[in-house]
């Protein structure tokens, strides 16, 4: 009897160790939508950085030399390992290129199946570009509305 209980305890401990130490975590899938407006003439690329459980970023980028409109408006579905996202854009203008990013938005296990609508307003502040950003969360089947 003691051997059987020890064996079961050993198996349970092993299974708990595997589940806790595994680098792959699975989270609910979300949609990330974005819309750029304002001073978008110099927009060179748009990147959605999906974040893993350690908040490392994995980029999906759209460049301005691509014929489609995904650089200004887009929607992506998050991978199941993602706990959130960050949006970045690159502006190419004189005298230097400028990269503007939002804060990290984290969902972890919350807001299952929701859509994150990001309003990205680029404007001039002094002699440089600036990003005013806001987001709201809606049902996954609804459409984002922007000003």
Q: Is 145 contained in some domain?
A: no
Q: Domain limits at 89?
A: 23-139
pLDDT at 20: 46
Q: Is 42 contained in some domain?
A: yes
CA 128 from chain centre, in angstroms, equals 25
The answer to whether 29 touches 138, Cβ cutoff 8 Å, is no
Sign of torsion, CA 72 77 78 79? negative
State both tokens at 27. 């989270």
Q: Is 119 contained in some domain?
A: yes
- pLDDT by 10s per residue, the chain, length 147: 545 555 555 555 554 544 444 456 788 889 999 999 998 888 888 999 999 989 998 888 877 665 556 788 999 999 999 999 999 998 887 677 889 999 999 987 777 888 999 999 999 887 788 999 999 999 988 999 998
Q: Is 107 contained in some domain?
A: yes
CATH number assigned to the domain comprising residue 68: 2.60.40
pLDDT at 98: 87
Which runs of consecutive H residues, i.e. helices, occur in the chain?
2-21
Q: Is 146 contained in some domain?
A: no
Q: Is 8 contained in some domain?
A: no
For residue 69, with 0-12 CB atoms within 10 Å meaning exposed, 13-18 middle and 19 or more buried, which class applies?
exposed
Considering its fold, how many domains does the chain have in total? 1
pLDDT at 18: 43
Q: Is 17 contained in some domain?
A: no
Sign of torsion, CA 122 112 76 86? positive
pLDDT at 96: 77
Rg of the chain's alpha carbons, rounded to an integer?
21
pLDDT at 120: 94
Could you say which DSSP state residue 64 is in? T
Nearest-angstrom CA–CA distance, 81 and 102: 20
């Amino acid at each position: 009897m003691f051997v059987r209980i020890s064996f079961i305890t050993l198996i349970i401990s092993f299974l708990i160790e595997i589940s806790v130490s595994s680098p792959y975590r699975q989270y609910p899938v979300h949609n990330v939508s974005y819309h750029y407006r304002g001073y978008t003439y110099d927009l060179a690329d748009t990147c959605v950085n999906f974040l893993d459980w350690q908040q490392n970023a994995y980029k999906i980028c759209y460049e301005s030399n691509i014929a489609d409109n995904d650089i200004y408006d887009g929607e992506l579905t998050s991978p199941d390992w993602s706990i959130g996202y960050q949006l970045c854009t690159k502006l190419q203008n004189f005298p230097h290129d400028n990269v503007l990013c939002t804060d990290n938005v984290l969902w972890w296990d919350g807001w299952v199946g929701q859509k994150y609508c990001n309003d990205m307003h680029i404007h001039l502040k002094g002699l440089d570009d600036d990003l005013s950003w806001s987001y709201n969360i809606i049902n996954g089947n609804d459409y984002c509305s922007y000003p």
